[in-house]
């Protein structure tokens, strides 16, 4: 059996191979960029995993030349403040929505910092898992008395000889072996006993902690019936424009009783800067924490709206402008030339004919468009 490990660099691959220490036949592959000929060679499921962001490791099984992703791994040593955990959640969501399990490795606490991992994040992963019927679980970075331990020769990757990592790799091995049954149509990852136990444990680890809107100063919950008044009070647009906008909202938006508005007020522009972290991750997290009831973004009980309050970001022209999709058009759009520039152009054009800019627009635009029902600006709205 061949196990393909896709990751950005060989260090991650060698760490994984060392950690799993089994006689599987491992192959290292880089995660290709969208538009690249190699991207077109990826299985659709793997492309789907990459549609919002890029996980650190994607593990696939290859049988008879068919590659099938089975697991994504996300690793961070960042202090476990909520926004740092949430920042990477879209990667977990994209995997879960593609029927692929995830493991998210992060610190529980770091010596010298007051931040502690909040058990509400376990609950978030439990919701993502339950809605998608595929487990996503946390493991905590190897540590000793809250000092994070790296594997020797692998800075930024957790020490392997540690109970957390031993348990994690046992789980992965178990899954790889158990997954031989995948051709059985009734097969569920939750049938794998060790994953079931781990997931049940994660449910208990929440200690009753869940996300609460009232704990989130950047969030506001309004009645959707008040949306028109809300827009009138905020936007620099005439009443006719606002009336027509509200009248033409999709019924799925106007029919939901409540609307959750994430409205960060950042000191400097953040709509695209620093890949819009952590706000794009917060959107994905809040979607599953408060809004989502089904696998599809249309299956929400509460609308999810993003409203950037920074004066520069509050104008829709920022989205259209040089740092937004105008840049995409100027730099990336392949449909401007009337002839092929080089051999790569063929692949790039094919890619865009098949997928549009789903994978090639910048990360913030990919995530806003996916998770938001609406974005509110002073001079307009975007409806998705």
The residues near 285 (Cβ < 8 Å, ≥ 6 apart) are: 86, 89, 124, 211
Q: What are the CA-CA distances from residue 324 to residues 18, 316, 328, 368 (Å)? A: 42, 10, 7, 12
Which DSSP string corresponds to 243-256? HHHHHTS-HHHHHS
Instruction: Single out the residue of 307, 304, 298 nearest to residue 251, CA to CA.
Output: 298
Please pick, from the candidates 58, 157, 276, 291, the single residue that binds another protein as defined by CB under 8 A: 157
Q: Work out how close the CB of 102 gets to another protein at its nearest, in angstroms, rounded to a whole number.
A: 15
Q: Does 58 bind another protein (CB under 8 A)?
A: no
Q: Are 133 and 127 in contact (CB under 8 A)?
A: no
Please give, one letter per residue, the 3-state secondary structure of 179-239. HHHHHCCCCCHHHCHHHHHHHHHHHHHCCCCCCCHHHCCCEEEEEHHHHHHHHHHHCCCCH
Please pick, from the candidates 150, 174, 265, 312, the single residue that binds another protein as defined by CB under 8 A: 150
Please pick, from the candidates 155, 163, 217, 233, the single residue that binds another protein as defined by CB under 8 A: 155
Please pick, from the candidates 32, 45, 78, 213, the single residue that binds another protein as defined by CB under 8 A: 78
Q: What are the CA-CA distances from residue 362 to residues 90, 129, 228, 271 (Å)? A: 14, 27, 31, 11
Neighbour count for residue 329 (Cβ, 10 Å) = 13
Looking at the Cβ atoms of 54 and 258, the one nearer to another protein is 54
From residue 88 to residue 127, the character string flagging contacts with another protein as x (rule: CB under 8 A) and all else as - is -------------------x--xxx---------------
Q: Is residue 278 reached through a cis peptide bond, with omega within 30 degrees of 0 on the bond before it? A: yes
Give alpha helix (H) positions in 221-342: 227-234, 239-247, 251-255, 279-286, 316-320, 325-327
Using the contact rule CB under 8 A, the part of the chain among 71-79, 220-228, 323-331, 374-382 near another protein is: 71-79
Q: Does 49 bind another protein (CB under 8 A)?
A: no
Q: How many residues bind another protein (CB under 8 A)?
A: 28
Q: Does 56 bind another protein (CB under 8 A)?
A: yes
Looking at the Cβ atoms of 155 and 217, the one nearer to another protein is 155
Q: Does 9 bind another protein (CB under 8 A)?
A: yes
Strands 101-106 and 136-140: parallel
Looking at the Cβ atoms of 157 and 249, the one nearer to another protein is 157
Q: Does 161 bind another protein (CB under 8 A)?
A: no
Q: Does 7 bind another protein (CB under 8 A)?
A: yes
Looking at residue 168, the DSSP 8-state letter turns out to be: H
Looking at the Cβ atoms of 161 and 340, the one nearer to another protein is 161
Q: Work out how close the CB of 152 gets to another protein at its nearest, in angstroms, rounded to a whole number.
A: 8
Please pick, from the candidates 1, 8, 244, 252, the single residue that binds another protein as defined by CB under 8 A: 8
Using the contact rule CB under 8 A, the part of the chain among 10-18, 217-225, 316-324, 363-371 near another protein is: 10-18
The residues near 89 (Cβ < 8 Å, ≥ 6 apart) are: 124, 128, 281, 284, 285, 288
Please pick, from the candidates 47, 79, 140, 300, the single residue that binds another protein as defined by CB under 8 A: 79
Q: Work out how close the CB of 107 gets to another protein at its nearest, in angstroms, rounded to a whole number.
A: 7
Q: Work out how close the CB of 265 gets to another protein at its nearest, in angstroms, rounded to a whole number.
A: 15
Distance CA 204, CA 300 (A): 26
Distance CA 16, CA 98 (A): 22
Please pick, from the candidates 267, 296, 336, 342, the single residue that binds another protein as defined by CB under 8 A: 267
Instruction: Single out the residue of 128, 97, 94 nearest to residue 203, CA to CA.
Output: 128
Please pick, from the candidates 1, 21, 63, 153, the single residue that binds another protein as defined by CB under 8 A: 153
Q: Does 250 bind another protein (CB under 8 A)?
A: no
Neighbour count for residue 223 (Cβ, 10 Å) = 12
Instruction: Single out the residue of 58, 40, 86 nearest to residue 360, CA to CA.
Output: 40
Q: Work out how close the CB of 223 gets to another protein at its nearest, in angstroms, rounded to a whole number.
A: 37
- What residues form DSSP beta bridges with 75? 105
Looking at the Cβ atoms of 75 and 307, the one nearer to another protein is 75
Residues that bind another protein (CB under 8 A): 7-12, 31, 54, 56, 75-79, 107, 110-112, 144, 147-150, 153, 155-157, 267
């Amino acid at each position: 059996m061949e196990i393909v490990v896709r990751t950005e660099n060989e260090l991650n691959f060698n760490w994984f191979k060392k950690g799993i220490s089994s006689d599987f036949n491992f192959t290292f592959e880089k995660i290709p960029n969208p538009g690249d000929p190699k991207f077109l060679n990826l299985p659709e499921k793997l492309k789907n995993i990459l549609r919002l962001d890029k996980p650190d490791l994607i593990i696939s099984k290859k049988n008879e030349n068919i590659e099938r992703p089975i697991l994504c791994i996300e690793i961070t040593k960042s202090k476990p403040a909520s926004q740092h955990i949430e920042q990477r959640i879209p990667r977990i969501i994209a995997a879960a929505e593609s029927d692929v399990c995830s493991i998210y490795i992060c610190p529980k606490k770091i010596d010298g910092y007051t931040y502690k991992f909040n058990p509400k994040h376990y609950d978030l992963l439990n919701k993502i898992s339950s809605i998608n019927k595929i487990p996503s679980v946390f493991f905590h970075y190897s540590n000793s008395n809250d000092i994070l331990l790296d594997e020797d020769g692998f800075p930024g990757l957790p020490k392997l000889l540690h109970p957390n990592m031993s348990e994690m790799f046992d789980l992965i091995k178990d899954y790889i072996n158990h997954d031989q049954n995948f051709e059985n149509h009734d097969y569920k990852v939750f049938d794998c006993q060790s994953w079931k136990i781990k997931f049940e444990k994660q449910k208990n680890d929440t200690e009753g902690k869940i996300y609460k809107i009232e704990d989130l100063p950047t969030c506001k919950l309004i009645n959707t019936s008040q949306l028109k008044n809300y827009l009138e009070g905020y936007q620099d647009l005439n009443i006719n424009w606002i009336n027509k906008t509200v009248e033409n909202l999709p019924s799925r938006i106007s029919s939901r009783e409540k609307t959750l508005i994430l409205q960060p007020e950042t000191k400097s522009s953040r709509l695209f800067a620093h890949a819009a972290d952590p706000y794009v991750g917060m959107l994905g997290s809040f979607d599953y924490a408060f809004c989502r009831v089904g696998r599809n973004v249309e299956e929400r009980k509460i609308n999810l709206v993003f409203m950037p309050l920074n004066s520069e970001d509050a104008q829709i022209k920022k989205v259209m402008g040089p740092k937004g999709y105008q840049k995409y058009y100027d730099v990336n759009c392949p449909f401007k030339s009337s002839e092929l520039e080089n051999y790569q152009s063929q692949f790039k054009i094919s890619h865009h004919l098949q997928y549009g800019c789903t994978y090639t627009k910048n990360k913030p635009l990919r995530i806003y468009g996916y998770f938001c029902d609406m974005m509110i600006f002073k001079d307009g709205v975007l409806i998705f």
